[in-house]
Amino acid sequence: MAEMCGLTVNKFSRLFKQTYNLTFQEYLIGYRLNESTRLLLNPVASISDVAFTVGFNDPSYYARVFKNIWA
């Protein structure tokens, strides 16, 4: 993302935090979890498939993050 914006990673991170009051990583995880919540409404969707679809490489990690955020 920093490269796409023509910024260094440090500059991008600093500006993102100042603008949105959260880190880009926090934003990305929140976005992925919101999208996964929508996908989980499909009764045939498996948790693993949803995890991979939204960018988590490990379904177990996805489940832990999901539980920590929504529980």
If 0-12 CB within 10 Å is exposed, 13-18 middle and 19+ buried, where does residue 57 land? exposed
pLDDT tens, position by position, 24-49: 999 999 999 999 999 999 999 999 99
**Pair of tokens at residue 45:** 């969707």
Interatomic CA distance for residues 62 and 51, integer angstroms: 6
For the chain, domains (ranges, CATH) are: 22-70 (1.10.10)
Report percent pLDDT > 70 for the chain.
Answer: 100
* Confidence (pTM): 0.85
Contacts of 16 (CB under 8 A, 6+ apart): 23, 24, 27
Residue 30 contacts residue 39 (beta carbons within 8 Å)? no
